[in-house]
Amino acid sequence: MFHKVKNVTALPEYVLLAHFMDGSDKLYDMKQLFAQYPIFRSFETTPGLFEQAKADVGGYGIVWNEDIDIDADEIYQNGTDTRAPFSGLIAMSDATVLSRIPAIPHQDITIVGDIEKQLE
């Protein structure tokens, strides 16, 4: 099963806070990869690079540039469960999509109580 990342926040000390489509939140310490995968040491040597973390278009990973990325399942399986301060609230991106749905005019909505009165 694929676990898709909805969005990600780069925190201090090279820690990621990843929000997944299933509603879970994970903390992932990228420092654990520095020794095994030297490409990740670029975060220490290139100021501002780590903070550029973003979910890739399909949500299958987190990317920084054409050379540096990490799989969403790695973070999901080996990250630490957490609860972000605003978990459960609607994201601005979701609200934007919802705002495009046409509203139903209130005169077209029948209230259940009105129906019961009409049946009497």
The pairing of strands 25-29 and 15-20 is antiparallel
Please say whether the beta carbons of 20 and 2 come within 8 A: no
**Is residue 114 assigned to a domain?**
no
Cα–Cα distance measured from residue 57 to residue 59, given in angstroms and rounded to the nearest whole number: 6
Counting Cβ atoms within 10 Å, is residue 84 exposed (0-12), middle (13-18) or buried (19+)? middle
Residue 107 located in a structural domain: no
The pLDDT, as a whole number, for residue 105 is 56
CATH of the domain at 59: 3.30.2020
Tell me the pLDDT of the chain (120 aa) as tens digits.
789 999 999 999 999 999 999 999 999 999 999 999 999 999 999 999 999 999 999 999 999 999 999 999 999 999 999 986 655 555 555 555 555 666 555 555 555 555 555 555
Residue 22 belongs to domain spanning: 5-99
- pLDDT given at position 34: 96
Structure tokens at 59: 């949500």
Structure tokens at 55: 């979910």
Residue 120 located in a structural domain: no
Structural domains of the chain, count: 1
Q: What is the pLDDT of residue 13?
A: 96
Nearest of 5, 14, 12, 8 to residue 76 by alpha carbon: 5
